[in-house]
Each structure stands twice: as structure tokens, then as C-alpha cells.
Amino acid sequence: MNSSGGRRLNTRMASDGPLRAFAGSFPGEVVLPGDDGYDAARFVWNRMVDRRPAAVVRPTATDGVIAALRFARDHDLLVAVRGGGHSLPGLSTCDDGVVIDLSRMHGAEVDAGRRIARVAGGSLLGELDDAAQAAGLVCPVGVVSHTGVAGLTLGGGMGKLQRRFGLTIDNLRAVEVVTADGEVVRASDDENPDLFWGVRGAGANFGIVTVFAFALHPFDGTVTHGVVTHPVERLDDVVALFREAVESGPGESMPTLAVARANGRPVVSISAFHSGSPEQAERDLADLRAYGPPLLDTIDVKPYREAQHLADGEMEWGHRFYMKSAFLRELPADAVTRCAELVAQGPPGVECVLSVWAWGGAIASVPEDGTAFTGREASYWASAEAQWDDRDLDPACREWVWDTAAELMPYALTGRYVNDVAEAGTDLRSVYGEAKFDRLVALKREWDPDNVFRLNQNIRP
């Protein structure tokens, strides 16, 4: 095994016998170039990514994960690890290497008495939501049900319940990890606590997580949720309403602001999500709903699980996507106005959105240095996002995202959400800050000195 960071890949292996022999004896599925299903297996969520792995290996249990990892290492093949396949820069696939795709290791088991969910490493968010809600419980996760639990959790995990129950990592109690050496270790506050610290924010760097154990909260699953939309001419008032809702609202309330185009014209919306009783929600959302009249008000009482599926369609697989985000200490109306002007001028036919989420609440109750995740002291998270289909528009869409995000940067704090970093090779000091970055490098040297797990926002050993 060549241990240098810049080792050459054994690309000839792709068409050679050893892979076929491995496939023949592997206890799971192996998809090779030329096989039926190879194209479906090699694509990830973001269609900007178009790579051709030597094999996509789908283990059904931890033994298979270890066997696939050992095979790749023995044959000097690059390793990509795939949970839900939603990495924005496509870090869960590769050219010429082995994709260890955990999609056949999925499902969540809930121990209702202990309020713990044991979730397999290839599960999707919807599986955790369904299993927890069946027991009247919940774990806070992201807003699109087909996102992978693994990648989302290992980076942090933002979602509609974050101000009430924290980030997904704040509810993580333990992980089982296959290390670069093919050993199985457990990490929690009591076992390998340093690794557990790093897993919560930079987790894709240290091994393949086969099991996540989450603490769950009692939750009846009734929420008040929907959108109020106004013409962009009311932007200043709507931003003020949003700020007020963020600053004075309880943890149950999770407003988000969006500026987007509808029928070619920019509109500004506040999406309200309230997980308290409908009566409390009505009181807390009264000011928001009284302003206007809005162009649209879809706020209604509904099951949490229904709300968790509402964005699935607009964020379906197969489109091109790019974004840049920041944690903000404040949200000046001037900056939002300039972003709205850029939304209006965005490339025609492209979905150009400025999105701002409420931060704080339970997120801020965890000490900033308690996990590798950096950005808890922010008041807002904001991002410029573009989604489109025509590859010729790639440069214009990237440029629009960078120009729009640049308007927010004067208000940005140290730290970025690693799961939003849409390209590889970013200086991760800007994501984790200097002190945490140094601690992560030390951890990487301990757990993955050969940088076997490098297809991630990579902490180089």
C-alpha cells in the first residue's frame, strides 16, 4: 500500500480480473462498468457531477463494508463512501475508484422506552422521521426526506426543529465506525470522545459510519407550517417582520426568508414552521400573518411528516445545483435589497434564490467548542442557491451565486457549514476556524494517517 497523499490510482484495475473476482465472492451487490444499472449507480444527486467509478459496491452489513474497504486498499484504489448521494460537489462518487454505497444498509429501529433510534449508515432522512414519529418521537433532521442521514449528520444537520431541539449532531449519542484499518470502533462521550467530537462536524474524514444512535424527543407531530409571499416592493417591511420573528420567537418557531422569482418577478416570502400547539402558533404567527395582504398565505396546521416531504419534488434528483452560504451576525435590509436586485437579474430560466434561516435557540445552547461544527454563535444562516438543467449555464450560475453571496460576506462570522461547501479544495480553516482545524488535523493523523477517506471536505493528515 502506497501511503503518500498523492498516490497514483491503479486505473487499469477497472477492466481487470480482480474486480470481477471480488464481485463474484462479495456478500452484496457490485456494479461494474458495462453492467446493467451502472449509469444509475454512478450518478449522484447533483447532475453537475459525472464520474465513472471502477465499481459501485453495495454491502448489506458491516463485514461487507470492511471487505470492500480492504479490497480497495489492497489494490490501491480510491475510496468514495456514499450515504444518500446528496453531497453538493459529488464527494460520494469518483473516477476509477471504488464507491462503497451504503444504500442497502438502511432503516431506523426505535427503542421507545429509552427514546433512542439506531439508524443504519445508508438511511435516508424520511426513514428516521417515519420510525421516530411512529413512536410519537422525533429527531431533528433536514428538510428534504431523500437526503442521507449519514452525510447530513456528519456535517451538522440543519432543519425545521433546530431552534427547539438543536442540530442533528446535538442529538447524536454514539456512532459505530469502520476505520481506515478495517477495524470497528464505537465513539460516544465515553468511548473515543475525541473521535466523537470530530465526527460531529467533520465526520466524513475519519471512517465509514455504519450505525448512528440518536436521542429522540417526545413530539405529537402536529405543526403549523406554510408560506406568506409578498411583492418585492415590501422587502424592507418583510425583512423587519422576519427579524422580529427570529429575535422574539420561541424555539418552536423556525421562520425562513426567501427572495426568489415567480413568473419572472422577484417576490419575498417568509416560510413559517411552528412545532408548538396550534393555539400557540396562531399567537406567535399573528403579526406575520396580519401584514399585507400577502400575495399568498398557505400557513396551515398539518402533520410534521407531511411538512417534511413538501420540498422533495422541487429538490428532486437530476438537476444542476450550486450554492454558497454564510453564518451572519445580523441581517441588514440593505444587503437583502442588493441580493434581491441580483435575484431579479439572475440568468433567465434558472431558479435563483436567496434563503435565510433563523439560527439560535437550542443550537446556541451547545458550547461552540463542544463539537467540530463551527457557527453556533450566528443569528442567521444565509445562502445564495441556483438550480438549473442546461450545462452551458454553469459559469453564469456559479457567477450569480458568488456575486450574490458576496453581498452577505461583510456580515459573515468565522465558520461555514461544511455541507454547503459546493466545491472540493476549499481552505477548511474558513469552515472550522484555526483552533478546530488544528485539532481536526491531529485527529486525522491518529485515525486516517494515509488519508484513505479523502473524498470529503478533506482534512489532510
Among positions 155, 166, 266, 461, the unique one binding ligand FAD when judged by CB under 6 A: 155
Q: Least distance from C-beta 9 to ligand FAD, angstroms?
A: 17
Figure out which of the listed residues 85, 249, 346, 361 binds ligand FAD, where binding follows CB under 6 A: 85
Residue 119 touches ligand FAD, criterion: CB under 6 A = no
202 binds ligand FAD (CB under 6 A): no
What are the beta bridge partners of residue 101?
82
The yes or no reply on residue 121 touching ligand FAD (CB under 6 A) is yes
Site track for ligand FAD across 378-407, x = CB under 6 A: ------------------------------
Q: Which is nearer to ligand FAD, 159 or 198 (CB)?
A: 159
* Minimum distance from residue 213 beta carbon to ligand FAD (Å): 14
Q: How far apart, in whole angstroms, are the C-alpha atoms of residue 271 and residue 228?
A: 6
Binding residue (CB under 6 A) for ligand FAD from 147, 269, 355, 371: 147
Pull the grid cell for residue 219.
Answer: 413530539
- 272-331: which residues touch ligand FAD (CB under 6 A)? 315
What is the b/e burial string over 98-125, where b = at least 16 CB atoms within 10 angstroms of the residue's CB? Answer: bbbbbbebbebebeeeebbbbbbbbbbb
Site string for ligand FAD, 412-431 (x = CB under 6 A): -------x------------
Cβ-proximal residues to 407 (8 Å cutoff; 6+ apart), any chain: 335, 338, 339, 342
State the minimum distance, in angstroms, from the CB of residue 232 to ligand FAD.
25
Q: Looking at 102, 138, 216, 372, which residue binds ligand FAD (CB under 6 A)?
A: 102
Identify the residue among 19, 32, 99, 208 touching ligand FAD (CB under 6 A).
208
Q: Which is nearer to ligand FAD, 147 or 241 (CB)?
A: 147
User: Are 266 and 343 contacting, i.e. CB atoms less than 8 angstroms apart?
Assistant: yes
- Cβ proximity to ligand FAD, 157 vs 294, nearer residue: 157
For residue 158, give the nearest of 273, 32, 289, 299 by alpha carbon.
Answer: 273
**What is the grid cell recorded at 359?**
439560527
- The packing angle between helices 333-345 and 235-248, to 10°, is 130
Distance, CA of 285 to CA of 299 (rounded, Å): 10
Name residue, grid cell 473524498: 455
Angle between helices 333-345 and 394-406 (to 10 degrees): 170
| 8-state DSSP, 192 | S
CB 88 within 8 A of CB 196: no
Closer by beta carbon to ligand FAD, 230 or else 416? 416
Query: Looking at 48, 55, 69, 91, which residue binds ligand FAD (CB under 6 A)?
Result: 91
Q: How many CB atoms lie within 10 A of CB 250?
A: 15
Binding region for ligand FAD (CB under 6 A) out of 80-88, 213-221, 250-258, 291-299: 80-88
Q: Which of 59, 64, 83, 346 binds ligand FAD (CB under 6 A)?
A: 83
CA-nearest of 32, 176, 130, 151 to 85 is 151
Cβ neighbours for 105, distance < 8 A, ≥ 6 positions apart: 59, 60, 61, 65, 120, 121, 122, 210
Amino acid in the structure at residue 63: D
Residue 89 interacts with ligand FAD (CB under 6 A): yes or no: no
Verify binding: residue 374, ligand FAD, rule CB under 6 A.
no
Q: How far apart are CA 223 and CA 274, in angstroms?
A: 6
For ligand FAD, which is the closer residue by CB, 10 or 92? 92
**Count, residues near ligand FAD per rule CB under 6 A:** 36
* Cβ distance to ligand FAD smaller for residue 84 or 266: 84
Alpha carbon distance 12, 152 (integer Å):
34
* Binding status of residue 45 toward ligand FAD by CB under 6 A: yes
DSSP 314-335: TT-TT-EEEEEEEEES---HHH
3-state SS of the chain: helix, strand, coil percent to 5? 35, 25, 40
Taking the C-alpha atoms of residue 149 and residue 157, their distance in angstroms, rounded to an integer, is: 9
By beta-carbon proximity to ligand FAD, the closer residue of 39 and 314 is 314
Contact residue for ligand FAD among 42, 58, 75, 82 (CB under 6 A): 82
**Nearer residue to ligand FAD within complex by CB, 121 or 251:** 121
Residues of this chain that interact with ligand FAD (CB under 6 A) are: 44-45, 80-88, 91-92, 102, 121, 142-144, 147-148, 150-152, 154-159, 204, 208-209, 315, 419, 455-456
